[in-house]
Structure 1
Amino acid sequence: MACGIILSGGLSRRFQVRGEPWVDKALYRIGNEPMIRLVYNAISQVTGKVIIAVNNAERAINYKSVLPSAEYVFDDGRLRGPLAGMYSALSACDEDYAIIVPNDMPYITPEALKRLMSGLRDFDVTTYIYPNGHLENALMAVRRDMALQYMDLLIDYGRSKIFDLIRGLPRISFLNPLTHGIDLKNLVNVNSRNDLTNTVVNVSDRLIKNDISIIRNYTINDILNKDLSKIIGSLWYTLITTDPWPEFRLYAEAGLHFLAAHVLLDSINENVKQLGRRILTSFGVDKA
Structure 2
Amino acid sequence: MRTGIILAGGESKRIGTDKGLIDLNGKPLIRYVVESLRPIVDEIIVVVGSKERIQHYRNAVEDDVMVVPDLYDDGSPMIGLITGLTHAKGDYAVVAACDMPFINSELVDILFLLSFELNGTLLIKPDGWIEPLPAVYNVEVGKRRAVQLRNDGDLRLRKVLETLPSVARILVERLKIIDPELRSFFDLDTMERYDEAMRIIKD
TM-score between both structures, scaled by the size of structure 1: 0.62
1:56 partnered with 2:54: no
Larger CA deviation: 34-43 vs 71-80 = 71-80
Q: 1:192 is matched with which residue: 181, 190, 193?
A: 190
Q: 2:165 is matched with which residue: 155, 166, 170?
A: 170
Q: 1:99 is matched with which residue: 84, 94, 100?
A: 94
Higher strand share: 2
1:6 CA drift (Å)? 0.5
Between the two structures, name the one with larger relative contact order (CA 8 Å, sep ≥ 6): 2
Instruction: Give yes or no for contact 2:122–2:161 (8 Å, CA) kept in 1.
Output: no
Distance 2:126 2:69 in 1: 35
Structure 1 pair 47–106 and aligned structure 2 pair: CA distance change class (3 A): same
Distance 2:18 2:74 in 1: 22
Instruction: Give yes or no for contact 1:79–1:159 (8 Å, CA) kept in 2.
Output: no
Distance 2:53 2:169 in 1: 32
1:186 CA drift (Å)? 2.4
Q: What corresponds to 2:147 in structure 1?
A: 152
Q: What corresponds to 2:7 in structure 1?
A: 7
1:164 CA drift (Å)? 2.2
1:175 CA drift (Å)? 2.4
**Amino acid across the alignment from 2:38:** S
**Amino acid across the alignment from 2:13:** R
Structure 1 pair 129–15 and aligned structure 2 pair: CA distance change class (3 A): farther
1:78 CA drift (Å)? 7.5
Instruction: Give yes or no for contact 1:100–1:140 (8 Å, CA) kept in 2.
Output: yes
Which segments of 5 or more consecutive residues in structure 2 lack a partner in the other structure? 198-203
Tell me the alpha carbon deviations over residues 138-160 of structure 1, each in whole angstroms, 9 at most, x when there is no partner.
32100011111212321331221
Give the match's secondary structure for 1:63. helix
Kindly name which structure, 1 or 2, has the bigger radius of gyration based on alpha carbons. 1
Instruction: Give yes or no for contact 2:12–2:19 (8 Å, CA) kept in 1.
Output: yes
Instruction: Give yes or no for contact 1:82–1:138 (8 Å, CA) kept in 2.
Output: no
Give the match's secondary structure for 2:40. coil
Distance 2:10 2:167 in 1: 26
Q: What corresponds to 2:18 in structure 1?
A: 24
Structure 1 pair 83–132 and aligned structure 2 pair: CA distance change class (3 A): same
Give the match's secondary structure for 2:84. helix
Instruction: Give yes or no for contact 1:10–1:81 (8 Å, CA) kept in 2.
Output: no
Distance 1:11 1:161 in 2: 19
Once the two structures are aligned, what percentage of the paired residues are identical?
23
Larger CA deviation: 128-137 vs 31-40 = 128-137
Q: What corresponds to 1:266 in structure 2?
A: none
**Amino acid across the alignment from 2:52:** E
Q: What corresponds to 1:37 in structure 2?
A: 31
TM-score between both structures, scaled by the size of structure 2: 0.86
Structure 1: 4+ residue segments shifted above 6 A: none
